[in-house]
Structure formats: structure tokens, C-alpha cells
Amino acid sequence: MRLLAIDTATEHCSAALWNDGVLSETTAPLVRGNGELILDLVGKLLHTTRLRLDDLDALAFGRGPGAFTGVRLATSTVQGLAFACSRPVIAVSNLAALAQQLFELPEAPAHALICQDARMHEAYWAAFERRAGLAVAATVEGVAAPADLIGAAGAWFNRDCWGAGSAFGAYPELAAAGRTLGRILPALAPRAREIARLAVAAGLAAAVPAELALPVYLRNQVAQPPSLN
């Protein structure tokens, strides 16, 4: 299978290409307002691997949750590329991609609690299990204030589970609760390489036409702070 994956949900953007088991990746800091950067990365990756869009079987992208503008950029970019080469698209959770990265670390446990900063004193979160080497959702994805998250995910705060994501570094409440976890990795961020791995594992059965490749924001209000009432 040949698959191109992209991600722009955080401060870094990345592109990865799966070529029949060989994985290549390129990354760069995502400069605000520079939406062409991800296309430059895709172009460099295709040039390096001597492939064209028409050589691909499918495309994949980090569908969120994440920064609103970043998730929107990834969605529009992958749709444009998919339309250009008439290929289907596989949407991959950014939280699952981060869990996959954690599970591939040495001595990682079989459980992960992923908490990404959602701004406005909230975090995107979900718990995952490792099955046959792949991150599988053990809870639904949600967005919540740190205190509410700790209450909802209380059973996952144990030594047999590792935590990862920027929310552990952003909110002292989560950092304190995270001391009950086996390890906390706040610097880990989603990457296209894990999106590619999960997309390939899902296969073409999970692919949809470009127009049906939709983002997941979780939060309806992206511009206004939550009500204090």
C-alpha cells in the first residue's frame, strides 16, 4: 500500500509517506498564516521518494481534535490533494496518533491517557489500549475542564497507564493528578508518521471520498470562552 499522511493540528506540521512498509517523514514548525508550508513538505516528500500523487492508493490526515485553524488546514489540504488525484481519504484521530506514538516507546504500558491542551482552560482527552501493537480507543473523545476530566478519567490515573499530551504541561491540576500515572510525557505531539501507521492498519475499508473527509473539533464554540454561569 502507498499512502500519504499529513498533520497540522499542533505547532508543528508533518507529512509522512508509507510505501509498502517503508515509512518516510518530514516535519517543520507551522508558521501562522503559512498554509502553503504543508504543501511544500508534501512536495519534498514525493520528490525524495520519486512518487507522484497518482501512485498513491489513499491519503490520510489528522482529523482532530486540535487547534481549530490547524485541523481546518489539514482537512482542506487533504481534500484538495485527494480531488487532484481522485483518491480516497482516511481520517485518523490526533489523540489516537499520539497514543500510538506513546505505545511505540520502550517499556511503554498497554494503556495511555491522552490529554491535549484545548485552550480556554479545557483539554481534549481520551484513553487508549494497545492491541496488536495499535492504539485502540477505550473511551469516547471529549473536551473538559481539568477538574471534570480528572473525575471522568479517574480510573485511568494509575501506575499501569502513561499520560501524554500538552495539557499535562499546561494545567497544574492535571500535572498533579498525573503523578499517579506510571509516567507523563507532556512534550509528545501528534505526528504524520503515526497517522500513516494507523491509516494503513485501518485499510481502504476506512477510506471515504474526499468530500466526506471531515474534521472533528469536539468543541462547538471555538472563539468564545466558556460561560461562567
pLDDT in tens, 127-143: 999 999 999 999 999 99
Alpha helices in the chain (DSSP H): 37-49, 68-85, 94-103, 146-152, 167-170, 172-177, 192-202
Q: Mean pLDDT across the stretch 160-186?
A: 98
In terms of Cα–Cα distance, which of 72, 146, 70, 131 is closest to 100?
131
8-state DSSP, 154: G
Question: In this structure, which topology does domain 95-185 adopt according to CATH?
Answer: Nucleotidyltransferase; domain 5 (3.30.420)
pTM of the model: 0.94
For residues 123 and 95, is the Cβ–Cβ distance under 8 A? no
The dihedral region occupied by 121, where left means phi > 0, alpha psi between -120 and 50, and beta the remainder, is: left
* Residue 54 cell numbers, joined: 497518482
Homologous superfamily of the 2-93+190-212 domain (CATH) = ATPase, nucleotide binding domain (3.30.420.40)
State the pLDDT at residue 12.
87
Residue 30 is predicted with a pLDDT of 81
**For cell 499542533, what's the residue?**
10
- The proportion of the chain whose per-residue pLDDT surpasses 70, expressed as a percent, equals 95
For position 220, what pLDDT does the model report? 67
Q: In what order do the strands lie in the sheet with 58-62?
A: 22-29, 12-19, 2-7, 58-62, 89-92
The residues of the chain that CATH labels 3.30.420.40 are 2-93+190-212, 95-185
Asked whether residue 52 carries a pLDDT value surpassing 50, the answer given is yes
The answer to whether residues 123 and 167 touch, using CB atoms and an 8 Å cutoff, is yes
80's CB contacts (< 8 A; 6+ apart) are none
Burial of residue 201, with CB atoms counted within 10 A of its CB: 0-12 exposed, 13-18 middle, 19 or more buried: middle
Backbone angles phi, psi at 20, to 5 degrees: 50, 50
Q: For residue 227, what pLDDT is reported?
A: 31
Instruction: Identify the three-state secondary structure at position 185.
Output: strand
